[in-house]
Amino acid sequence: MTMIDHDAALKAVENSLDRPSAARVYDYFIGGDTHYAIDREFAEKVRKRLPLMGDYCLTSRQFLGRAVRHCAELGIRQFVDIGSGLPTAGNVHEVADEARPEEDTHVLYIDNEPIALAHSTLLLADTADPDRHHAIAADLFDPEGLWERVMDSGIIDVRQPIALVINAVMHFIKDEQDPDALLDFYRDRLVPGSLLVISQMTNENPANDEERQALLDILEYYETTTNPGFLRTMDEFRRFFGGWPLLEPGLVYAPAWHPDEKTVFAGVPSESRVIGGIARKP
């Protein structure tokens, strides 16, 4: 495994401050501490137009935690997190180890954004077990190369079931970028019994014309960041599961997916603007 060294990581951070990083903006919204003035200014511009944006981001993060816990409790011991972003509260490896005190889970974090990998290199050193947790550079849009790196990582056995996590990523992939072919590739590489965890922001049933316009405006804002956005309805999103059977309760607004006492929007899931689910490969 090739990792960015500490000095290179710091340089990558310094070289990324000319525009907002979607990963750092997300980190700011969920209460992390890996962000800079340019990210905070952009986040507050977004919040002014869509006041609940921070809660939507927190919804995505909470869904990730509940989904990983559920996968681990079902016996999954390998997690590949594509588009993992910045390490922050409730990392996949931390949740998995909590759910399986045997600490027998292996987690591979993957991101193509140099800034995200740089921060991972700097931050994972404090919390990760290097024998079981790695962060590598690879691109979702280069599936052959990415999967080769997964196989070469030394910590993932692709002959055994894997939970493939693509959380809060699909809303950064436009339909003209052919996400269907990408998801087909990754689903094909998983063995039976593997789980696919995906979520994204949705434009399903806006409450009114004002919210519909606000969602369009947010997409325009994100065109100026490292990751332009694209929203989908439930029907448009469902296809990414490839027809695999969904675990209960199916594809739902994220707060309705096995909510716990911390779940935001638990009483009104449809206000969360986030949808997600888990499917199992037959």
117 domain-assigned:
yes
For position 6, what pLDDT does the model report?
Answer: 55
Domain count, the chain: 1
For position 3, what pLDDT does the model report?
Answer: 44
Average pLDDT value over all residues in the chain? 91
70 pLDDT higher than 50: yes
225 domain-assigned:
yes
User: Where residue 1 falls among pLDDT bands split at 50, 70, 90?
Assistant: very low
User: Where residue 107 falls among pLDDT bands split at 50, 70, 90?
Assistant: very high
Instruction: Report angle CA 219, 185, 128 to the nearest 5 degrees.
Output: 75
**Angle of helix 92-99 versus helix 53-73 axis, rounded to 10:** 40
1 domain-assigned:
no
In tens, the pLDDT along 5-63 reads 556 655 666 666 778 888 889 999 999 888 889 999 999 999 999 999 999 999 999 99
Answer whether 99's CB lies under 8 Å from 73's CB.
yes
DSSP annotation of 238: H
194 domain-assigned:
yes
Encoded tokens for 107 = 């987690």
Determine the average pLDDT of the residues in 237-261.
98
How far, in Å, CA of 261 to CA of 74, rounded?
21
In tens, the pLDDT along 140-195 reads 999 999 999 999 999 999 999 999 999 999 999 999 999 999 999 999 999 999 99
71 domain-assigned:
yes
CA separation (Å) from 125 to 31, 35, 151, 154? 20, 18, 22, 18
114 pLDDT higher than 80: no
- Give the contacts of 12 (CB within 8 A, at least 6 positions apart): 4, 114, 115, 117, 118
For position 21, what pLDDT does the model report?
Answer: 83
For position 2, what pLDDT does the model report?
Answer: 40
96 pLDDT higher than 90: yes
In tens, the pLDDT along 194-210 reads 999 999 999 998 888 99
For position 7, what pLDDT does the model report?
Answer: 63
Global confidence as pTM? 0.92
30 domain-assigned:
yes
For position 146, what pLDDT does the model report?
Answer: 98
For position 18, what pLDDT does the model report?
Answer: 74
Decide the pairing of beta strands 252-253 and 274-280: antiparallel
Range of the domain at 100: 6-281
Answer whether 180's CB lies under 8 Å from 96's CB.
no
How far, in Å, CA of 157 to CA of 249, rounded?
29
Encoded tokens for 149 = 């790196």
Q: Which CATH number belongs to the domain containing residue 171 in this structure?
A: 3.40.50.150
For position 8, what pLDDT does the model report?
Answer: 61
